[in-house]
Structure 1
Amino acid sequence: MKMLRSERKKIREQRDWQKVIFQIVEFLIFLSAVWLVQKGFRFDMKIVVYVSVALVLLWSARYGLLIFISCALILEAFPLIAKEIVIESELRIFTIAMGATLGIIGESFNRQIKNLWNEIKKLELEKNDLIEGIDEMKAIITQLQSRIYFEGEGLIVLLERLRELEILDFDEMLTRAVEVVAHFFELESLSLYRSEEKRFLRFVAGIGPKKLPNALEVSQSKVIEDALENGYSTLPRVLLKKEITSFEPFFAVRIGEGDTLFGVLVVEDISFDKFSEVLVRYIKAVADWMYANAKIILEQEKIAQMKHRKDDGTWDEAYYFKKREVLQKRKDRFGIPFEEICLKYSPELHNEVIGKFRKTDVLFAERQDGLVVLRVLLPVCDRNGKARVLERLVKISGLKVC
């Protein structure tokens, strides 16, 4: 600390001497300008002397005693350079007396000005500290208000809204729940990733800007990976344990557990005044509610599968168009793409064609003129993905696109 103070003192002293040198050079420039003007216009030399004296007095009043001494010495030496300049003794005495007086007054005012500037800087620093303190208090108050609201009627109101959601379709429930949860907690971004395999996630619903891809492996995100292991995770927590090498969301919350892992809620970005551990835990509570209700919905889906799913893995027409409505809602609300393809082929190719699609794809087959007409919904798939699927299918001999 002492070394730091001494270094700062040396820097201040160096800056003060630089100012003194600049002020002396400034005086020399003005004095030389007066002398050159006299050389050019040939007016009375006494005017040059009086102007030079006035400059000495002005610089003394402006910069203080040290500058007065320097300027007075320069003025004394000036006649040695310019022989035609003669300073009378009375004027010299007047200049020294008046200059010294003004120098003392100027020195006093300069110190007062310097002290005032230091006080202003000190007050500005204190003001900035107070502003930061006020912002921190506002954030704390906001979090406390949120906590009081959530622990009171707030969370109950949210759960009541979620209960009002349509529960005949699991994907429909998840899609609409994302919108309700994001609006309730005032989140600018919220994404839902569905777990298709143990280490693979696919985006199914969300609001706000998104940087993570539509499909990703769990290992691609440390925050999501930690959330799947521990229920929820945040970026600050992961930063303390692991090295971050790519973009990471701010926090993630798991939906389900073990073999019944349904997915994960992901918030990629959130302002610091809204973020808190309390917020993450309440979203985790909502995710647990969704998990509990999902069991009921999945049981209903099993009943629906028995009713609507055929032995070959395709679905009947009613289920197919119901799913299409759900996917269209996602596209309209969240911009999540889906594609639909139509194929015609002979019945002998039916099992081979069906085997080319994912478990999440919805297939509806019907017979027309001795051929099988297969309609397929490809969730979370754009035109490029559709093109890749068709590239694989057209290799099958005898298959045509409707």
Structure 2
Amino acid sequence: MDNASPKPRNDNARSEAGPVAGPASAAIADWSDQYFLKTKATVEKFGDCRVTYAVFMRRPVVSAPRLAIDWLHGIAAERGAEFKIDLQYDEGRWVGAGEPIMYVSGSFVHLADLETLLLMKLGPACVAAFNAFTMCADLPKVAFLAMDARHCAGLEMAEMMAYAASVGSDRARRKVGATGFVGNATQATAHYFGQERALGTMPHALIGYAGSTLRAAEMFNETFPDEPMTVLVDYFGREVTDALTVARRFAAMASQGKLSVRIDTPGSRFIEGLDPPASYAVLDRHVPNVIRGYRSEAELRSLVGAGVSAAAIWHLRDALDREGFHKVKIVASSGFDPAKCKVMAEAKAPIDVVGTGSFLPQRWTETYATADIIEYNGVKRVKVGREFLFRKE
């Protein structure tokens, strides 16, 4: 792919002045590693040459290069330079460890000081896309809502992670027909999910303000009468009681499938009506085989532990169904990372929506992208041990 980049889902939605557009060429020296700046000065003194960089990751990822490529094109335009970008793995493709995601060719003078920032914009997005794909593929019938912004270190990371979730989600749709991420919690990045606006209803703070779960639901409904409603039911530790109380009060919405209840029970306690023995009993009724094999401590916690476990979700579903609220949806949140999603899939947990930001990379060292020059004026040359980066003939 020559001088090309993947196309955004909505080309008009993202402002070129957004967080990932920077820094502009004039500010690059402030953010680039010093040895790249000294290399640039040396090459300027002794003569420019055309180089080709191979850009790769040390672990398997899902290709999410758009933000990095868009930035490279922007810098090339500012400098009056031309960069040839040969993308080896289109957006959303699986990339093996050590396989170059792209080759970038151009003037050494103009590329030398860009490496630091290029790698910043590539590695974390590819790992997050990998995680999002895995989660969506393991729970293909579940809709996901990206709630990652609160976990991000600034606006640039927030945009990068939203973009990555959309890439991983799109891959899961193609590969397994997954529902995937249907939206996110912030307006600025809603376009990555094909939405014109962000999604969400109420945080715990509104429940505390209202003084009761039911009153919070009533206040929300009066404020937004035409919207479906998702009600948090764990604030007072009465998940089942409050879910049923809200469903009875809004029976019409419940029957129309416009009412959801969300559990975000902390890991310091069990959902209302459960303890360890009762949790095992719930799963034994619904998915007996899931608790009879070997399980790690983390897996057991997701199955029958405190907080939002598979047993808790089955328990809440049972309570709603007993009263005829079959169309009330369950939204689950609290630490839904790839490992927890896999356990939920094995337990066939009756989740309708997962709200999560836990597709963010957990081990930051795995996000480190690397670039090596493999050609100088058309002559192949790379440090010993990296010959695998040469283009395949």
Give me the TM-score of the superposition, normalised by structure 1. Answer: 0.20
Bigger RCO of structures 1 and 2 (CA < 8 A, at least 6 apart): 2
Give me the TM-score of the superposition, normalised by structure 2. Answer: 0.21
